[in-house]
Amino acid sequence: MAYYLRRLLGVLATLLVVSLLVFSLLQLAPGDPATVVAGPDATPEQIAAVRANLGLDAPFLSRYGGWLGDALRGDLGTSYTLGQPVTDLIGQRLGSTLQLVIAAMLLMGVLSAAAGVVLATGRNGAVRAAVDYLTTLALSVPPFVSSIILIFAFAVIWQVLPSGGEASITADPGGALRFLVLPALALALPNAAVLARLLATDMRRSLQEEYVLTARAKGASRRRIVWRHALPASLNLYIVQLGINFGNLIGGALVVEAIFARAGIGGLLVDAVTTRDYPTAQAVLLLTVAAAILAQMVSEMVIARVDPRVKARAAR
Amino acid sequence: MITTVHNTPDGEPVLRVRGLTAVLDLPTGPATALHELDFDIGAGEILGVVGESGSGKSLTSLAVMRMLPDAARVTAGQILLHGEDLLTKSEKDMRRLRGRHLGIVFQDPLAYLHPLKRVGAQLRESLTVHAATRAQAATRALELLKLVGIPDAEQRIDDYPHQFSGGMRQRVMIAMAVAHNPSLLIADEPTTALDVTIQAEILRVLVRLRDELGTAVMLITHDIGVVEDTCDRVLVMYAGRIAEQAGTGTLLKSPRHPYTRELLRSVPHLNTPLLDRLPAIPGQPPDPRNRPAGCPFHDRCPDVRDRCTREMPPLERVDADPGHSVACWVAPDTPVQIAAPAGGERRTGRPETEVILSVEDVRVWYTSRRWPWSTEVVPAVDGVTFQARQGTAVGLVGESGCGKSTLAKAILGLQPVTSGRLTVAGREWSGADSHQRAALRRTVQMVFQDPYASLNPRMTVGDSIAEPLRNYHLAGRSQLAGAVRELLDQVGLPARYADSYPYQLSGGQRQRVGIARALAVSPKLIVADEPVSALDVSVQAQVINLFDDLRDRTGVGYVFITHDLAVARHMCDDILVMYAGRIVESGPASAIFANPSHPYTRTLLASAPGSGLTKDTGLKPASGTRPTGGCRFRDRCPVGPAANPQRTVCAERDPALDAVGPRHHAACHFAERDDR
């Protein structure tokens, strides 16, 4: 228990640092939201008034403190440009991104685990070579290229899946899934390829470990050795990487959403940054970073469950 | 019940190996790894297999298990288990035999147990893969843990391997191997990674299981003492061949093969007179890629004849003894006795030389911090005082975890001391600035245990040795090569090795390089942590002699950390016995080995291999927590309150290190005096 509590304290500290970074980075970027809000024909006096109105003339630290205090109470501020509460804006779009990331995460896990085990232990040379080739291909094509290839193949040539858009997951689950397949695949493929390689390398190493010899000496079958001995031993590294790649998925999702015309938080962020809409941009950035950090924390906690030595080591 | 006992009527051996030949597929082409091995193991018999690295002893065991690595394959011969040839079995049939009729225990139990699975689960797996039900497996797993002597088996069964001590892990390995009462149990260096006291316990477990279950045991070891204590018969392997085979008593007393004879002579023993130099076998065991023609031992053999260089001698029966056979052209005509070889009596007493290391009441406490506001203190070294003089060797002995390595680190300045004074050549580590520390580092150097890991594989031998010279600007660019040559010469290596890389060298040669590197800055003190334990037996003596020579030649002082008491007795002038961070006994080696005073020292000596396993030392197993206050050893002590409840003083008062003889001290309320 103490182990998890210590990890949680660490995460909270990291989040605090991140919030300061997010806040200051945007403010340091050139451009003034007051000029955007006041419009192109505004006089300097009008801009100054808008600035005072938005609270931008207060000292940096007091603005940060105020924002952080509000954020902790659940108030992320009001969008400068849209005039709506940021929490509402995010709320409207979060579901779409969440669906995409979760679908990609599942695909990534399944594809990488299957490909990794085949690469490490497959006894059919041709199958192994094919998987090897496909992972290399997936590894070298970034999501914005694979998206276009997938759209071209499945939406333009064969016309089996929609090229873009989305449907409500509650009203039309089947339709929503059809819209999800291509973007989730585009997002998952390069990450899955990295993970598969990693798992394969680590499993090959695990299969060389001495305890595998012990298992053979017991009379265990090869299948048992692969699935019950080598795979669990390699899951550690795999889970860590899964947590790290979750961050990649979120970053990639913002791009893929644009290509597949999905109304997720990616579009919100791009608009907010270009119009210097600090409250919205800060909130979206903080949210995505927090999600990535939390994913890593979860992966570390899973490892602590899987590998009893982790906790013992941390306690030392 | 899922156990089966295989009786062997009419004395048929359990395992019969005939003409076993195996090759290793190396990048340079196939090389013969095992050459026409013939041997038997009967039910209830322990066959010792002795040999150095590359002799093929582990390969033989893996061949019997049919678990050879991909690069090795059997090309001829038969491996008959109860008369059935294992070499003709399918992999599926072998799977049924492994774990059931064939059990194996490997050297390093931590590596050979799955780190993420509970001990109980791993034990149960041994049973369920051979069709035991879960319930049967659960019952039997607990039974097995008790059989191998795990205390509190009910509680420990759900622990993970990392929560077990080394000896307990090895017991678990043995439990898995004997889960089905196999007809043959192979133990491949089962005690090499363990402390002597634990080693004796594990060997006792093996012998007991043999007695109770009638198992045939193949015990692979490099340690003659282990053979002496446990084996009925011995097989001596050299370069993939059987050099000699005989009953243990015969082999130890009147070996025929020059290799066996020289090997027995070169190993320091606790009960033989001390010699000035060990009679070492020259050279190294041959590389499997490049074995000499004729007898593989001929280039190291003192009795070599012309014929030995051309023709390979067959393994032939020695006429007088049906159980004794030897592969040597010379041996059969010349039975030899292991008499005290030439070399002279060991010099005793050295002139009082300058004190180079002074340790005064040194404590090293490790603090671990779980929370920023709370700390936990582990006293690794707890109030140690001793001195080392120039040209002498101090031996630090004790079980793992006694603090000897931490003390060594403190002497080297790698670990700050918590309190006390540690002075090397008149200067103290604590409070020294970086300039003074650099100067101190020149006076004390280290030789490491593992000659493979302690040399940078990407640096030539010459560069490794020259590095300290460069760091201290001790030799200009033009002088470096000469200085390196001189150092190589000092450790007995030809100058051409300067351009070699570590992988091109044997273990013994690498250790010589490590010594040369330590000598480069002309230190006053060398700390050596188990410097010969990773070396082949026949090479150990060479390196021990080298240490002796260097001391006599350069006047350097040594602090040797070793678990091998016979080596400590041979090499060291003074001995410090450590237990739980303290010195429990100190004094001249002669006094300590002749009259061990502290009960802990006495159990260590009684547990040393070659001392026999029959006598019970009375040592209690270590529990997880050490007692605090009073004597730290009392919970395990054979004469303390655990055995004699009326001796309450042990828990009440901390025993001081009191004199029990001239320069001989022991920290025990019931210490035995030299003049007893």
CB B314 within 8 A of CB B243: no
CA distances from B272 to A171, B226, B275, B482 (A): 91, 17, 9, 42
Q: Where are the domains of chain B?
A: 255-346, 355-578, 595-666
Does residue B1 register a pLDDT over 50? no
Higher pLDDT, A211 or A74: A211
Helix, coil or strand: residue B214: coil
Is A79 among the domain residues?
no
**Counts for chain B of helices (H) and strands (E), in that order:** 21, 24
Across the range A84-104, mean pLDDT stands at 89
Across the range B525-530, mean pLDDT stands at 93
Who among B65, B99, B111 is closest to A211 (CB)? B111
Across the range A121-125, mean pLDDT stands at 85
Q: How far apart (Å, rounded) are the C-alpha atoms in residues B598 and B604?
A: 10
Q: How many CA atoms lie within 13 A of B282 on its CB side?
A: 8
Chain CA centroid to CA B204, Å:
17
Q: Please tell me the least confidently modeled range out of A148-152, B334-338, B530-534.
A: B334-338
Tokens of B421: 């004074």
**Interchain proximity A218–B96, CB inside 8 Å:** no
CA distances from B574 to B168, B394, B519, B569, B591 (A): 32, 5, 22, 9, 9
**What number of other Cβ atoms are within 10 A of residue B368's Cβ?**
11
pLDDT in tens, B564-601: 898 999 999 999 999 989 999 999 999 999 999 999 99
**Interchain proximity B65–A217, CB inside 8 Å:** yes
Mean residue pLDDT of chain B comes to 87
Who among A211, A219, A316 is closest to B99 (CB)? A219
CA distances from A164 to A178, A260, B587 (A): 10, 4, 86
Q: How confident is the model at residue A144 (pLDDT cuts 50, 70, 90)?
A: confident
Is A273 among the domain residues?
yes
Phi, psi for residue B248 in degrees, rounded to 5: -60, -45
Chain B residue numbers touching A307 (CB-CB < 8 A): 115-116
Q: How many CA atoms lie within 13 A of A185 on its CB side?
A: 16
Q: What share of chain B is helix, strand, coil (3-state, %, to 5)?
A: 35, 25, 45
- DSSP class of residue B595 equals S
Who among B65, B114, B160 is closest to A229 (CB)? B114
Q: How far apart (Å, rounded) are the C-alpha atoms in residues A74 and B556?
A: 72
**CA nearest B178 in A: which residue?**
A218
B233-238 and B216-221 beta bridge pairing:
unpaired
Q: In this structure, are A105 and A240 located in the same domain?
A: yes
pLDDT in tens, A3-58: 788 888 888 898 889 888 888 887 777 777 777 777 778 888 888 888 787 777 77
Q: In this structure, are A37 and A158 located in the same domain?
A: no
Does residue B638 register a pLDDT over 70? yes
E strand or H helix that includes residue B242: strand B241-247
Is A309 among the domain residues?
yes
Q: In this structure, are A138 and A247 located in the same domain?
A: yes
Work out the percent of chain B whose per-residue pLDDT is above 70.
94
pTM for this model (two decimals):
0.83
Chain B residue numbers touching A219 (CB-CB < 8 A): 95-100, 129-130
Does residue B396 register a pLDDT over 70? yes
How buried is A1 (Cβ within 10 angstroms: 0-12 exposed, 13-18 middle, 19+ buried)?
Answer: exposed
CB B311 within 8 A of CB B298: no
Q: What sign does the CA torsion over B318, B323, B328, B331 have? A: negative
Dump the DSSP string for A34-83: HHHHH-TT--HHHHHHHHHHHTTTS-HHHHHHHHHHHHHTT---B-TTT-
* Residue appearing with tokens 């919030």: A19
Q: How far apart (Å, rounded) are the C-alpha atoms in residues A131 and A15?
A: 39
Across the range B528-532, mean pLDDT stands at 90
Q: How far apart (Å, rounded) are the C-alpha atoms in residues B51 and B235?
A: 9
Residue (of B71, B100, B99, B80) closest to B20 by Cα position:
B80
CB B323 within 8 A of CB B235: no
Task: Note the ipTM here.
Answer: 0.80
* Residue appearing with tokens 């030799």: B475
Dump the DSSP string for B304-369: --GGGGTSPPP-EE-TT-TT-EE--SSGGG-----PPPSS-BPP-------EEEEEEEEEEEEEEE
Chain A residue numbers touching B96 (CB-CB < 8 A): 219
**CA nearest B116 in A: which residue?**
A307
Q: How far apart (Å, rounded) are the C-alpha atoms in residues B621 and B449?
A: 27
- DSSP class of residue B625 equals S
Q: How far apart (Å, rounded) are the C-alpha atoms in residues B561 and B569?
A: 12
Is A89 among the domain residues?
no
Chain B residue numbers touching A316 (CB-CB < 8 A): 368
Does residue B158 register a pLDDT over 70? yes
**Helix A210-218 and helix A173-208, axial crossing angle in degrees, nearest 10:** 90
- Closest-CA distance, A190 to chain B, in angstroms, reads 30
Across the range B191-206, mean pLDDT stands at 86
**CA nearest A228 in B: which residue?**
B117
Across the range B522-531, mean pLDDT stands at 92
Across the range B92-116, mean pLDDT stands at 91
Which of B66, B94, B114 should we substitute to test contact with A (largest number of A Cβ atoms within 10 Å)?
A: B114
Does residue B330 register a pLDDT over 60? yes
Is A251 among the domain residues?
yes
**Interchain proximity B98–A216, CB inside 8 Å:** yes
Tokens of A315: 């306690």
CATH number at residue A207: 1.10.3720.10
Who among A217, A233, A315 is closest to B98 (CB)? A217
Helix, coil or strand: residue B193: coil
Work out the percent of chain A whose per-residue pLDDT is above 90.
27
Q: How far apart (Å, rounded) are the C-alpha atoms in residues A49 and A34?
A: 9
Q: How far apart (Å, rounded) are the C-alpha atoms in residues B487 and B466?
A: 9
**What number of other Cβ atoms are within 10 A of residue B377's Cβ?**
10
Across the range B663-671, mean pLDDT stands at 92
Q: How far apart (Å, rounded) are the C-alpha atoms in residues A91 and A85?
A: 10
- Closest-CA distance, B459 to chain A, in angstroms, reads 26
Q: How far apart (Å, rounded) are the C-alpha atoms in residues B495 and B515?
A: 15
CB B520 within 8 A of CB B487: yes
Residue (of B457, B566, B564, B460) closest to B516 by Cα position:
B460
pLDDT in tens, B274-302: 888 888 888 888 877 777 788 999 988 88
Q: Which of A41, A72, A103 is where one domain is finished?
A: A72
**CA nearest A234 in B: which residue?**
B116
Number of domains forming the structure of chain A: 2
**Interchain proximity A219–B130, CB inside 8 Å:** yes
- DSSP class of residue B234 equals E
Chain A residue numbers touching B190 (CB-CB < 8 A): none
Chain B residue numbers touching A227 (CB-CB < 8 A): none
Work out the percent of chain B whose per-residue pLDDT is above 90.
49
**CA nearest A213 in B: which residue?**
B112
Name the CATH code of domain B355-578 (choices 3.40.50.300, 3.40.640.10, 3.40.50.720, 3.40.50.11890): 3.40.50.300
Is A88 among the domain residues?
no
Q: Please tell me the least confidently modeled range out of B5-14, B112-121, B484-493, B604-613.
A: B5-14
Q: How confident is the model at residue B615 (pLDDT cuts 50, 70, 90)?
A: low
At residue B3, the pLDDT reads: 32
At residue B11, the pLDDT reads: 63
Kindly list the residues of chain B whose beta carbon comes within 8 Å of any beta carbon in chain A: 65, 67, 95-100, 102-104, 106, 108, 111-117, 125-126, 129-130, 160, 162-163, 173, 176-177, 368, 370-371
Chain B residue numbers touching A218 (CB-CB < 8 A): 98-99, 125-126, 129, 176
Q: How confident is the model at residue B6 (pLDDT cuts 50, 70, 90)?
A: very low
Across the range B406-421, mean pLDDT stands at 92
Exposed e or buried b per residue across B143-167, where buried means at least 16 C-beta atoms within 10 angstroms of its C-beta: ebbebbbbeebeebbebbbebbbbb
Which residues, including other chains, have CB under 8 Å from residue A65's CB and lie 6 or more apart? none
**Interchain proximity A211–B103, CB inside 8 Å:** no
Which of A209, A214, A231 should we substitute to test contact with B (largest number of B Cβ atoms within 10 Å)?
A: A214
E strand or H helix that includes residue B103: strand B102-105
At residue B334, the pLDDT reads: 59
Q: In this structure, are A100 and A47 located in the same domain?
A: no
Across the range B91-112, mean pLDDT stands at 91
Does residue B490 register a pLDDT over 80? yes
Q: How far apart (Å, rounded) are the C-alpha atoms in residues A147 and A188?
A: 11
- State which residues form the domain around A34: 2-72
Across the range A147-151, mean pLDDT stands at 90
Which of A4, A211, A225 should we substitute to test contact with B (largest number of B Cβ atoms within 10 Å)?
A: A211
Is A81 among the domain residues?
no
Which of A204, A206, A209, A218 should we substitute to test contact with B (largest number of B Cβ atoms within 10 Å)?
A: A218
CA distances from B39 to A238, B24, B54 (A): 47, 21, 19
Who among A6, A219, A309 is closest to B129 (CB)? A219
Phi, psi for residue A302 in degrees, rounded to 5: -65, -40
Who among A211, A218, A229 is closest to B98 (CB)? A218
Is A155 among the domain residues?
yes
CA distances from B38 to B13, B97, B237, B297, B485 (A): 13, 22, 11, 19, 47
Who among A214, A217, A221 is closest to B113 (CB)? A214
Kindly list the residues of chain A whose beta carbon comes within 8 Å of any beta carbon in chain B: 2, 6, 209-211, 213-221, 224, 228-229, 232-233, 306-309, 312, 315-316
**Interchain proximity A220–B95, CB inside 8 Å:** yes
